[in-house]
């Protein structure tokens, strides 16, 4: 989609530190990490928010979850623990309107989030 930062990362127009890529998804390091491990996992398909995911996207959503598990294991934060976050719309502080999972770990995280 035009003018979407994450679509431009998918196309290679904007560089990113890619950690994983397949035909449906990519994962890359967050530009402004909030934890020692802070990875963004995104579908290649442009969905502005998690609310745009439809019945046909069920498999894709599961794929993003399993990709997060794989990366958590690769980064060695599976046993210590990690958080998977999807911010949706204004109150959650969503700033990039291309669906993304934040995979965060490597430090203790308080609950509830601020
Ligand atoms: P949101 O606030 O929408 O849930 O998260 C957006 C995330 O994208 C933020 O953590 C922000 O640091 C990250 N981000 C924004 N622009 C870029 C970029 O151009 N490259 C990378 N790697 N991360 C970005
Ligand atoms: Zn996009």
Q: Which of 3, 21, 40, 102 to mutate to test the pocket of ligand 1 (most atoms within 8 A of CB)?
A: 40
Q: Which of 15, 32, 84, 94 to mutate to test the pocket of ligand 1 (most atoms within 8 A of CB)?
A: 32
Smallest Cα–Cα separation from 60: which of 50, 73, 70?
A: 50
Answer yes or no: is 114 within a domain: no
Pocket lining: 67 vs ligand 1, CB cutoff 6 Å? no
Answer yes or no: is 113 within a domain: no
**pLDDT (tens digit per residue) in 81-99:** 999 999 999 999 999 999 9
Structural domain harbouring 76: 5-105
Mean of the pLDDT values across residues 11-31?
A: 98
> What confidence category does residue 67 fall into, taking pLDDT thresholds of 50, 70 and 90?
very high
Asked if residues 53 and 61 have their Cβ atoms less than 8 Å apart, the reply is yes
Answer yes or no: is 57 within a domain: yes
Length of the chain: 114
pTM of the model: 0.98
Ligand 1 center from residue 17 Cα (angstroms): 12
Alpha carbons 10 and 104: distance in angstroms, whole number: 21
pLDDT over 80 (residue 1): no
CATH number at residue 60: 3.30.428.10
The domain total for the chain is 1
Question: So what's the pLDDT on residue 108?
Answer: 97
Q: 89 Cβ partners below 8 Å, 6+ apart?
A: 49, 51
Position with higher pLDDT, 23 vs 114: 23
Answer yes or no: is 54 within a domain: yes
């Amino acid at each position: 989609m035009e003018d979407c930062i994450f679509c431009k990362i998918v196309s290679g127009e904007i560089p990113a530190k890619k950690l994983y890529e397949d035909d449906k998804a990519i994962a890359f390091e967050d530009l402004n990490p909030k934890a020692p491990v802070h990875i963004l996992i995104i579908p290649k398909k442009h969905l502005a928010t998690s609310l745009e995911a439809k019945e046909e996207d069920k498999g894709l959503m599961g794929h993003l979850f399993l990709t997060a598990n794989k990366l958590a294991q690769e980064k060695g934060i599976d046993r210590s623990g990690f958080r998977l976050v999807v911010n949706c719309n204004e109150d959650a502080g969503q700033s990039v309107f291309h669906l993304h999972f934040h995979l965060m770990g490597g430090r203790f995280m308080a609950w509830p989030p601020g």
